[in-house]
């Protein structure tokens, strides 16, 4: 019987190989039968169309579990008991909030109580408001790229979640910070400028999300227009904040004493804000990844700003409020996500971190705390640059990673989403610990 005519339930053919030990002969026969069986499945898929793929995959999965004696479980299940799954979900949604709360409790110093109050107020508000807002945003459904990672099971998940948790984080932070910044004009100006820059980049992201939803494609605002709007928002922030708070910035960064260095710092700050905004956006590709990493970085940045060197307790409270808001959103965005933050949230979060850092001169700790975001962006730049270079040089584009950003490369290497998030969180916490102990 030919390979294509073999029925699916047919046993491997008997071995008729003379002069070969029986076990080896049977292994050879089984290998031939397996190859014929896979060819039969491929031809069946072509005959019945794409709809037959899940049935064939399910049948093969049940055969494997039948031979191994395990229960196959539902399609797409991750395995493990229901208790294990529940514990994993609870840790992914609330574990980082508990950990960061303990960090504030242990390292808050004289700001310990205000830090915890601010963090918990934002966290609880976002968690509660999200329970009402997420069902209301059910029609704002995410569309995935055809050439992107295999996230078909997430198709139809609502997006633009940043529209409800970013304003809460900023406004709660301003409420807690206002008694401290109202007495110092420079800090008051910087705090308001940070809020405006955050909202401006969030509005750019919201426009992009709404266009994607309306067009039912993954093409929203053009990349050039989006970057131009981000640069405009960054330039406006630098024009206001740096001029009003340049004295404190020069004290934090003594190298900026000269006028030429001040101009260079202002120009580079525009690029840093727009770049960090896009770096967080690129990292937002797995459930809970960007929101958890942002919360870790914001807690560390707030602790640094509260130190005597930077003496910006008001902006520190805004950082802790935004960290609490991100943790509250993680209750809805943890794996499996009920909603995505979209460009509305990711662009705003990156702009908040960068504008807070450049507006106070807290640049070195900022670069350390956001290293994971920056490495994610670097992986995309290397991938695109190497592809274009090899296409021009060799006639065929080649890639460094299987897919960029780097977390998608790990997905292609069969890492689970939970494993990737845990590894990235661990990296962020190590950077947070380094920020606490290094004299930055």
How far is Cα 205 from Cα 197, in angstroms, rounded to an integer?
A: 12
Which three-class secondary structure state does DSSP give residue 141? strand
Q: How many CA atoms lie within 13 A of 262 on its CB side?
A: 14
Place of tokens 């008001």: 314
Cα 386 to chain center, whole Å?
A: 24
| pLDDT tens profile 126-154 | 999 999 999 888 777 766 655 456 566 77
Mean pLDDT of 337-341: 91
* The pair of three-digit structure tokens given for residue 87, joined into one six-digit string: 């514990």
Give the model confidence (pLDDT) of 24-36 as tens digits: 444 434 444 444 4
Report the chain's mean pLDDT, rounded to a whole number. 80
**CA 301 – CA 370 distance, rounded (Å):** 10
Upper half-sphere CA count for residue 258 (Cβ side, 13 Å): 4
Is pTM beyond 0.85? Reply is no
* Interval 423-436: pLDDT, tens: 999 999 999 999 88
Domain ranges (residues) in the chain: 1-64, 84-386
Cα separation, 337 vs 265, in Å, equals: 39
pLDDT in tens, 111-128: 788 899 999 999 999 999
The per-residue pLDDT for range 82-100, each reduced to its tens digit, is 665 666 677 777 888 888 8
Residue 141: strand pairing partners:
158
3-state helix, strand, coil in the chain (%, to 5): 75, 0, 25
75-80: Cβ within 8 A, 24+ apart: 76/153, 78/416
Indicate if the pLDDT at residue 271 is higher than 90: yes
Alpha carbons 319 and 118: distance in angstroms, whole number = 9
Average pLDDT over residues 164-181: 95
| pLDDT recorded at residue 248 | 84
Mean pLDDT, residues 193-208 taken together: 96
Q: By the 8 A CB rule, do 281 and 350 touch?
A: yes
Give the Cα-Cα-Cα angle 168, 282, 156 (nearest 5 degrees).
70
**pLDDT reported for residue 150:** 58
């Amino acid at each position: 019987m030919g390979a294509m005519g073999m029925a699916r339930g047919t046993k491997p053919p008997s071995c008729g190989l003379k002069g070969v030990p029986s076990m080896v002969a049977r292994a050879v026969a089984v290998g031939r039968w397996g190859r014929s069986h896979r060819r039969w499945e491929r031809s069946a898929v072509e005959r019945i169309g794409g709809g037959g793929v899940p049935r064939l995959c399910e049948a093969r999965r049940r055969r494997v579990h039948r031979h191994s004696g395990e229960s196959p479980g539902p399609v797409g299940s991750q395995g493990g008991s229901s208790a294990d799954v529940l514990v994993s979900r609870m840790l992914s949604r609330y574990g980082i909030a508990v950990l960061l709360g303990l960090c504030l409790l242990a390292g808050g110093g004289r700001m310990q109580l205000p830090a915890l109050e601010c963090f918990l107020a934002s966290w609880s508000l976002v968690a509660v408001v999200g329970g009402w807002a997420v069902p209301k945003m059910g029609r704002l459904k995410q569309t995935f790229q055809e050439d992107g990672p295999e996230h078909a099971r997430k198709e139809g998940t609502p997006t633009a979640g940043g529209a409800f948790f970013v304003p809460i984080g900023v406004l709660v932070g301003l409420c807690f910070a206002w008694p401290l910044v109202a007495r110092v004009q420079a800090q008051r100006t910087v705090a308001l400028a940070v809020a405006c820059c955050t909202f401006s980049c969030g509005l750019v992201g919201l426009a992009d999300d709404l266009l994607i939803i309306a067009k039912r494609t993954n093409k929203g605002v053009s990349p050039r227009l989006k970057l131009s709007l981000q640069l405009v928002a960054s330039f406006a922030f630098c024009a206001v904040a740096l001029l009003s708070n340049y004295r404190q910035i020069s004290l934090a960064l003594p190298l900026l004493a000269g006028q030429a260095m001040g101009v260079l710092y202002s120009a580079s700050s525009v690029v840093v804000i727009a770049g960090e905004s896009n770096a967080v956006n690129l990292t937002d590709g797995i459930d809970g990844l960007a929101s958890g990493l942002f919360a870790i970085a914001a807690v560390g940045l707030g602790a640094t700003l509260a130190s005597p060197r930077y003496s910006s307790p008001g902006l520190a409270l805004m950082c802790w409020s935004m960290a609490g808001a991100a943790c509250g959103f993680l209750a809805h965005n943890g794996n499996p996500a009920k909603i995505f933050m979209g460009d509305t949230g990711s662009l705003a979060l990156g702009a908040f971190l960068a504008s807070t850092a450049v507006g106070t001169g807290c640049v070195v700790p900022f670069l350390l705390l956001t290293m994971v975001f920056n490495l994610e962006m670097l992986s995309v730049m290397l991938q695109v640059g190497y592809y274009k270079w090899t296409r021009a040089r060799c006639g065929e584009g080649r890639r460094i990673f299987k897919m960029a950003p780097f977390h998608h490369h790990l997905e292609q290497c069969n890492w689970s989403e939970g494993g990737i998030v845990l590894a990235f969180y661990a990296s962020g916490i190590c950077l947070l610990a380094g920020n606490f102990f290094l004299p930055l």
